[in-house]
């Protein structure tokens, strides 16, 4: 029944098994298709389910509505190492309540607009959008940002319109990669 949803979801090893659609949001229940996962310490696969934690994360919008993914984060027990481990999840980072692709999408939205505009569309608080923006910026910053840099592009975007909060985005013009993103504040003239 949910094959089309699973295809649209496009997260490897996950399938949609349920949905809840209301006026203001879409929630998709997704399950891993893997019964056994490899232990990160010894690489031996384990099927021994140890614990299950329910999680809900924000994902890209569906038909203009905010979309949330509901899933179970599983802990398995490795009988080789005699300890439990969390299965690794490739679509969301540890301690984040949104997917990697949502973070990437917010980063681009903020770059094109400003946080206040994005905040209105996403119905999230200012600090949440700002934190997502800088997490993605950090992810995009290479370990040696100024190595092999020949031409530097400098962009300044208003984080909060008219309040003097800016983000300075430095880009390597030859590779189009973000080199550094920093927050600046300036008094209004």
Residue number, 21 or 42, with CB nearest to Zn ion: 42
Smallest separation (angstroms) from Zn ion to the CB of 78: 3
Smallest separation (angstroms) from Zn ion to the CB of 38: 8
Residue number, 60 or 81, with CB nearest to Zn ion: 81
Pair of tokens at residue 165: 């909060």
* Long-range contacts of residues 91-98, Cβ cutoff 8 Å, at least 24 apart: 91/11, 91/14, 92/55, 92/57, 96/57, 96/135, 97/56, 97/57, 97/58, 98/57, 98/58, 98/59, 98/132
Q: Which residues partner with 57 through β-bridges?
A: 69
Smallest separation (angstroms) from Zn ion to the CB of 9: 30
Smallest separation (angstroms) from Zn ion to the CB of 86: 13
Residue number, 45 or 141, with CB nearest to Zn ion: 45
Residue number, 37 or 78, with CB nearest to Zn ion: 78
Would you tell me which residues interact with Zn ion (CB under 5 A)? 39, 41-42, 78, 80-81
Residue number, 81 or 117, with CB nearest to Zn ion: 81
Smallest separation (angstroms) from Zn ion to the CB of 64: 45
Burial class (CB in 10 A: 0-12, 13-18, 19+), 19: middle
Gap between the Cα atoms of 141 and 129, Å rounded: 19
Residue nearest to Zn ion (CB): 39
Question: In which element (H, E) is residue 105 found?
Answer: helix 100-112
Question: In which element (H, E) is residue 137 found?
Answer: helix 126-140
């Amino acid at each position: 029944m949910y094959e089309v949803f699973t295809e649209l979801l496009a997260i490897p090893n996950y399938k949609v098994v349920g949905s809840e659609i209301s006026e203001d949001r879409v929630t998709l229940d997704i399950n891993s298709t893997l019964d056994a996962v490899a232990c990160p310490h010894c690489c031996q696969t384990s099927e021994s389910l140890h614990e299950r934690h329910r999680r809900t994360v924000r994902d890209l919008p569906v038909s203009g509505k905010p979309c949330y993914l509901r899933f179970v984060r599983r802990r398995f027990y490795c009988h080789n190492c005699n300890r439990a481990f969390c299965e690794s999840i490739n679509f969301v980072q540890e301690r984040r309540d949104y997917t990697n692709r949502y973070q990437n999408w917010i980063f681009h939205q903020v770059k094109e607009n400003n946080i206040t505009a994005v905040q209105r569309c996403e119905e999230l608080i200012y600090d949440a959008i700002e934190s997502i923006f800088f997490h993605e910026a950090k992810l995009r910053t290479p370990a040696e940002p100024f190595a092999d840099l020949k031409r530097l592009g400098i962009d300044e975007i208003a984080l909060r319109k008219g309040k003097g909060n800016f983000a300075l985005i430095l880009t390597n013009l030859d590779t189009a990669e973000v080199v550094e993103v920093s927050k600046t504040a300036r008094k209004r003239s």
